[in-house]
Amino acid sequence: MNRVMHAVAPLAPFTAAALAAALLFAAFLAAQGFEAPEALGLVVEGAFGSAFAWQNTLARAAPLMLTALCVALPARAGLVIIGGEGALALGALAAAMVPSLTAGWPALPVQLLMALAGFVAGGAWIAASAWLRHVRGINETISSLLLSYIGIALFNFLVEGVLRDPASLNKPSTPPLPEAVLIGLLPGLEVHWGLVWGVLACTAAWFLLRRTVFGFSVGVVGGNPRVALMAGLPVGTLLIAACFLGGGAAGVAGMLEVAAVHGSANASLLAGYGYAGILVSFAARHNPLGIVAGAILVGGIGASGSLLQRRLDLPDAAVLVLQGALFVALLAFETLNRKGVRRV
Amino acid sequence: MSETTDGLAFGSLALALLGGALRVSTPFLFVSLGECITEKSGRINLGLEGTLVLGAMGGYGVSLLTGSPWLGVLAAGLCGVLMGLLHGGLCSLPKVNDIAVGIALMLFGTGLAFFLGKPLIQPQAPMLPSVELGAWSDDEQIRSALRINVLLPVGLALAGLLHWAFRASRWGLALRLVGDNAAAARALGYPVVPIRIGATAAGGFLAGVGGAFLSLYYPGSWNEGLSSGQGLMAVALVIFARWNPLRCALAALLFGAAGALGPALQSQGITAGYYLFNAAPYVLTLALMAASWTPGQTLAGAPGELSFTQR
């Protein structure tokens, strides 16, 4: 019984926050003369109401799991990183470059190399924030978002410049990937294999943080850096490693968007998964297994957007309002948690 | 021969940069002054990026409805006050972290602005007037560089006023005391939490006004790409300016010049690295932060209660 309470208790503030966010959203819509109860119903229907809705939700959840890890892994080390969008962009770009260098190779090594390229590019970008924090003491929240803007500028510069496929006239893109290296759909579903990658990555991250010496050391650094220094832990290396792994996950999200959704790197990749991932990680209280559930929830909100647009003529930003309300409510209900909360 | 043309090109580039700095710096100025007030009270509000965008939308909408851009500026400020009250109120709850709330409000404010601003993308609202400082010159380039917006002198005057108020006025000293040592402020009978909420609301007002500048003067329309990090850069700028309003004003002009680099080069016919030059302000922000922040030490001038400047 105690164990059950222990497992369920943290969900109570979350449920309260979700209800509060739904009420806030409904009041916001009602104030503008929209049918608020119908809108809430449509969110549920558009997210989880049918097989089609579920597939749409899961397809969105896949990159969100990876971009949320970009927040959760550094959070374990006590860093608040919000630059996942830039890591995703650069990961996508690096991955999109691989096939042109590996012409004639079989598909699997190319795909693995693409994932590796995305991982390294995204990881390096976020690790830079940790490095700046450690060496110069720069606040990593601000620097990661600035680096994200710089990464997106670099992405646009290269995609519209030297890396542009001359055949992409209206929408500047990198050359399309060869058919063979595209990542396909799960058998019988309209959801690509990225979902499996996302779940595996979250499981691996959970294992790494909760069951290894590395994860324990990162947790000590996040809990109290002075204790970590006194214990002789390599604080800087751990900070940089946690951020590298997190940024790498966001970079792989970019690689998946290229290889499984868009078929090349172009501006439609930048759909805000990096920002929504921040909400996912906070909703999961930075627990990698919780992220799987959080990503499905936030992915569902995103998936309901087109239904809200079609049936009620709501702007597409309606999902951003609901996500924002959820984020605010989650933090407000943090105060009800009886257990001490991590600094992050 | 080529030297004179180079000299001319350089001169007009410098002029374009000066004009750009005067034009682009205003939102940096207002947001950084607002953030300065908030941080002096011991809290950081990272959500000013969202406030800036919401203020831009609210100001544009009200200017369109009422025909008065000044009412628009006021409405933008009030949008900022609401966001500030939300931030200040939430952070006053136990166990709620100001940085996290700021991130949430950044996303929430932008979402709200995009939602409510959908009908504002097409119509043209009345704009704020400009002041012709260059009326003495016959040169169109000089006149256009010195054509400043009315909010810039207001902001500069405000920087001076705040500088004085933080040092010499009763409420300025109370604000600093709350930000430096909450326990001491409490012992002297100052209401710490209300002062912090008030400071965050005041900061929100100024950030909202900065947003009104974006939509009602330059670039002078409402669209979803209006702000790309100006609000966040202004937060970093306050640190660089060491919480001093006058240095905030100088830093805002510097950032304005960096932001004007891309358009200025474009006007000179250099378009190759347009996206890269547009990233100049972000790079500059990072470089300045690296230069001004010494690891292992609390920054000179940092309010004592400000959590994120300490390790």
CB of A312 within 8 Å of any CB in chain B?
Answer: no
List of chain A residues whose C-beta atoms are within 8 Å of the C-beta of residue B105: 324, 328
CB of A337 within 8 Å of any CB in chain B?
Answer: yes
Best of B45, B87, B115, B284 to substitute, by most chain A Cβ atoms within 10 angstroms, is B115
CB contact under 8 A, A146 and B229: yes
CB contact under 8 A, B289 and A136: yes
Distance in angstroms (rounded) separating the CA atoms of residues B291 and A142: 15
Closest of A238, A240, A245, A235 to residue A206, by C-alpha = A245
B304, exposed or middle or buried, with CB in 10 Å at 0-12, 13-18, 19+? middle
More confident residue, A225 or B205: B205
> What one-letter code names the amino acid at B203?
G
Cα-based angle A52, A57, A60 (whole degrees, multiple of 5): 130
Cα-based angle A241, B105, B179 (whole degrees, multiple of 5): 85
Euclidean distance between the first and the last CA atom of chain B, given in angstroms as a whole number: 57
| Contact between B80 and B204 (Cβ < 8 Å) | yes
For the record, the structure tokens of A256 come out as 């998946």
Look up the ipTM and state it. 0.92
For the record, the structure tokens of A169 come out as 């006239």
pLDDT at A147: 96
Best of A141, A221, A335 to substitute, by most chain B Cβ atoms within 10 angstroms, is A141
| Cross-chain CB nearest to A132 (options B93, B101, B290) | B290
CA torsion sign for A177, A180, A181, A183 is positive
CB contact under 8 A, A132 and B295: no
pLDDT at B236: 87
User: Measured between CA atoms, how close is A313 to chain B, in angstroms?
Assistant: 11
In degrees rounded to 5, what are phi and psi of residue B221? -160, 170
Q: What is the pLDDT of residues B217-234, one digit of tens each?
A: 988 999 998 888 889 888
Q: What is the DSSP letter of B169?
A: S
Q: What percent of chain A has pLDDT over 90?
A: 86
Residues for chain B: how many in total?
A: 311
Q: What is the DSSP letter of B224?
A: T
* Cα diameter, chain B: 73
CB contact under 8 A, B103 and A141: yes
Map tokens 């896949």 to a residue.
A62
pLDDT at B308: 66
Q: How far is CA A54 from CA A300, A317, B198, in A?
A: 8, 21, 45
pLDDT at A8: 72
Kindly indicate the confidence band of residue A338, based on its pLDDT and cuts at 50, 70 and 90. low
* A158, closest residue in chain B (CA to CA): B275
Q: What's the average model confidence in pLDDT over B72-88?
A: 98
Could you give the angle at which helices A273-283 and A51-76 cross, rounded to 10 degrees? 70
Kindly indicate the confidence band of residue B8, based on its pLDDT and cuts at 50, 70 and 90. low
Q: What percent of chain B has pLDDT over 90?
A: 60
Kindly indicate the confidence band of residue B298, based on its pLDDT and cuts at 50, 70 and 90. low
User: Measured between CA atoms, how close is B82 to chain A, in angstroms?
Assistant: 14
From chain A residues 281-310, the ones with a CB under 8 A of any chain B CB are 282
List of chain B residues whose C-beta atoms are within 8 Å of the C-beta of residue A314: 115
> What one-letter code names the amino acid at A82?
I
Distance in angstroms (rounded) separating the CA atoms of residues B51 and B161: 23
- The answer to whether the predicted template modeling score (pTM) of the entire model surpasses 0.90 is yes
| Contact between A192 and A62 (Cβ < 8 Å) | yes
| Cross-chain CB nearest to B276 (options A147, A157, A328) | A157
Closest of A274, A341, A154 to residue B273, by C-alpha = A154
In degrees rounded to 5, what are phi and psi of residue A76? -60, -30
List of chain B residues whose C-beta atoms are within 8 Å of the C-beta of residue A330: 104
Q: What is the CATH number of domain B9-126+134-293?
A: 1.10.3470
Give the distance from CA B259 to its chain's centroid. 13
For the record, the structure tokens of A290 come out as 């919780």
CB contact under 8 A, A320 and B100: no
For the record, the structure tokens of A310 come out as 């079609």
Euclidean distance between the first and the last CA atom of chain A, given in angstroms as a whole number: 30
The domains found in chain A, sorted by start residue, are 39-334 (1.10.3470)
Average pLDDT, chain A: 93
Q: b/e for A24-55, b at 16 or more Cβ within 10 A? A: bbbebbeeeebebeebbebbebbbbbeeebbb
Residues for chain A: how many in total?
A: 344
User: Measured between CA atoms, how close is B135 to chain A, in angstroms?
Assistant: 37
Distance in angstroms (rounded) separating the CA atoms of residues B259 and B270: 16
Kindly indicate the confidence band of residue A342, based on its pLDDT and cuts at 50, 70 and 90. very low
Q: What is the pLDDT of residues B99-142, one digit of tens each?
A: 999 999 999 999 999 999 999 998 999 999 988 888 888 888 88
pLDDT at A192: 94
pLDDT at B4: 54
For the record, the structure tokens of B248 come out as 């905030």
CB contact under 8 A, A141 and B107: no
Best of A29, A32, A142 to substitute, by most chain B Cβ atoms within 10 angstroms, is A142
CB contact under 8 A, A141 and B95: no
> What one-letter code names the amino acid at A239?
L
* B283, closest residue in chain A (CA to CA): A150
User: Measured between CA atoms, how close is A177 to chain B, in angstroms?
Assistant: 25
Closest of A7, B223, A326, B136 to residue A334, by C-alpha = A326
CB contact under 8 A, B290 and A146: no
For the record, the structure tokens of B108 come out as 């929430």
pLDDT at B309: 59
B136, exposed or middle or buried, with CB in 10 Å at 0-12, 13-18, 19+? exposed
| Whether the bond into B219 is cis, omega within 30 of 0 | yes
Closest of A3, A123, A35, A9 to residue A312, by C-alpha = A35
* B280, closest residue in chain A (CA to CA): A150
Kindly indicate the confidence band of residue A344, based on its pLDDT and cuts at 50, 70 and 90. very low
For the record, the structure tokens of A182 come out as 């595209």
Distance in angstroms (rounded) separating the CA atoms of residues B277 and B217: 22
> What one-letter code names the amino acid at B223?
N
Average pLDDT, chain B: 89
List of chain B residues whose C-beta atoms are within 8 Å of the C-beta of residue A278: 103, 107
User: Measured between CA atoms, how close is B111 to chain A, in angstroms?
Assistant: 5
Distance in angstroms (rounded) separating the CA atoms of residues A206 and A198: 12
CB contact under 8 A, B232 and A146: yes
Strand partners, A185: A192
For the record, the structure tokens of A279 come out as 């909400």
Q: How far is CA A289 from CA A72, A158, A208, B42, in A?
A: 11, 36, 12, 35
Q: What is the DSSP letter of B149?
A: E
Could you give the angle at which helices B230-240 and B245-267 cross, rounded to 10 degrees? 130
List of chain A residues whose C-beta atoms are within 8 Å of the C-beta of residue B272: 161
| Contact between A118 and A251 (Cβ < 8 Å) | yes
Q: What is the pLDDT of residues A158-195, one digit of tens each?
A: 999 889 998 888 889 999 999 999 999 999 888 999 99
